[in-house]
Amino acid sequence: LPVLFKEELKNEEVQEGASVTLHCELTKAAPVLWKTGSKVLKASDKYQMRQPGTTAELVIRDLEVKDA
């Protein structure tokens, strides 16, 4: 069976300079690529990705307007 979203991303409103954690839940464990537009995000000081089981999480630090 294909992997589907059980819980999709939700919009978050956060102050500039703060951090936010985005998460989604899948129907089964599968690798997730986080993107902004067509650019694939890579782990760095700004972006941290975690995937415990079927939940995928993206932490964005030091938010800027362009991260919207």
What are the structural domain ranges in the chain? 5-67
Read off the pLDDT of residues 10-19 as tens digits, 9 standing for 90 and up: 888 899 999 9
Give 19-64 pLDDT, tens digit per residue. Answer: 999 999 999 999 999 998 899 999 999 999 999 889 999 999 999 9
Give the whole-angstrom CA distance, residue 17 versus residue 19.
7
The confidence score (pLDDT) of residue 39 equals: 92
DSSP, res 13: -
Q: Can you point out the beta strands (E) in the chain?
A: 5-7, 20-26, 35-36, 39-40, 47-50, 55-60
For residue 28, the model assigns a pLDDT of 93
User: Model pTM?
Assistant: 0.84
Say which CATH class 5-67 falls into: mainly beta
Q: Are strands 35-36 and 39-40 parallel, antiparallel or unpaired?
A: antiparallel
Amino acid residing at 64: E
Predicted local distance difference test score (pLDDT) of residue 9: 84
